[in-house]
Amino acid sequence: MKKKCLSLLLAGAMVLSMASVGMTASAEEDTIRVGMVTDVGGVNDGSFNQSSWEGLQRAMDELGIEADYLESATDADYATNIETFIDEEYDLIICVGYMLADATRAAAEDYPEQKFAIIDDSTCSDLDNVTCLMFEQAQASYLVGYVAGLTTESNTVGFVLGMSTDTMNQFGYGYLAGVLDANPEATILQQNANSFSDTATGKSMATAEITGGADIIFHAAGATGLGVIEACTENGIWAIGVDTDQSSIAPETILTSAMKRVDNACYDISKQCLEGTLEGGVVTYDLASAGVDIAPTTDNLSEDVLEAVNEVKEQIVNGDITVPSTQEDFEAAYGDIYELD
């Protein structure tokens, strides 16, 4: 009997620990309501989910829309969270991250009148009621590569990749192009950790590049990159962050970050929905639309570098510089020197 009671108690504890957090919103007529579904990172993940919600908060302040979010504790919550917003008749549902692609597709097919937007996924672009928000990460990577090329003293920089996919390789093409345009003499050491969560491997790969002479390392590897940043801190060299302004993790080590401005994308899409101009298909956010950029924290950049990067930024926006984002474009311009694809 004792055993049964205890099993029950422990099973109860398991259920409790998996419960998700929900919030509800009040309705009002003359405005729109935007619902945001996070991935398992939760709304305060210091990354995509958080910055999406910040964009919506800005939209609430400036555009007077109403917005709310539902956090997903497990993969199984995506569909139910989307369903909740549909039941409450939200005008637009924003799904944060490619992990929600399947759930978004299923819901969009079931409710063709409901409008959806999904971040970092283009597989749903064939559906009329889904807007896919994509980012030109090659451009942001080009800028940080340019910074690295100008800043390196050993003429050797490093790159640690999380996984070799077409989307992830865009980081590599942009970075290599940026480094070489700023510094044609530079050597670029490249490693593929093949994981977004293996901090130990990230750390030892960064150590290998440091041993090879790198004095700046850029990571596009999620949590694996934490290990990269740590190795850079321990060895007193620069690291370059990704996705968000990672300066807060290691203010003395992070030179700059290649940012995706998910907040701007969420703000824009809400605005379009409010004005009735929202269309399906793929919307790509680039430097010109302030969808990607280098980090606003520039404390570790020298005046000259900052000035040079701002110039390059303008040239990209003007179209004077075209940043390669595919294997063909990259190899046509720089040769087959990117090892990880």
Q: How many residues bind other proteins (CB under 8 A)?
A: 52
CA distance 185 to 8: 66
Q: Is 199 a residue that touches other proteins (CB under 8 A)?
A: yes
Q: Which stretch binds other proteins (CB under 8 A): 27-35, 195-203, 303-311, 312-320?
A: 195-203
* Residue 290, phi-psi category: left (phi > 0), alpha (psi -120 to 50), beta (remainder): left
CA distance 253 to 219: 13
The residue (of 213 and 333) whose beta carbon lies closer to other proteins is 213
Q: Which of residues 269-298 bind other proteins (CB under 8 A)?
A: none
CA distance 149 to 179: 4
CA distance 257 to 294: 6
Q: Binding string, 23-42, against other proteins, x = CB under 8 A? A: ------------------xx
**CB distance 253 to 233 below 8 Å:** yes
**Token duo for residue 286:** 């680039």
Q: Is 192 a residue that touches other proteins (CB under 8 A)?
A: yes
Query: Least distance from C-beta 187 to other proteins, angstroms?
Result: 13
Q: Is 208 a residue that touches other proteins (CB under 8 A)?
A: yes
Q: Is 207 a residue that touches other proteins (CB under 8 A)?
A: yes
Residue type for position 274: L
Q: Is 102 a residue that touches other proteins (CB under 8 A)?
A: no
Q: Is 57 a residue that touches other proteins (CB under 8 A)?
A: no
Q: Which of 157, 237, 273, 312 binds other proteins (CB under 8 A)?
A: 237
Three-state DSSP at 240 gives strand
Q: Is 16 a residue that touches other proteins (CB under 8 A)?
A: yes
Q: Which of 32, 101, 226, 274 binds other proteins (CB under 8 A)?
A: 226
Q: Is 227 a residue that touches other proteins (CB under 8 A)?
A: yes
Three-state DSSP at 298 gives coil
Q: Is 200 a residue that touches other proteins (CB under 8 A)?
A: yes
Burial of 221 (0-12, 13-18, 19+ CB in 10 A): buried
CA distance 259 to 283: 17
Q: Which residues bind other proteins (CB under 8 A)?
A: 2-3, 6-7, 10-11, 13-14, 16-18, 41-46, 164, 190-195, 197-201, 203-205, 207-208, 210-213, 223, 226-227, 230, 233-237, 248-250, 339-340
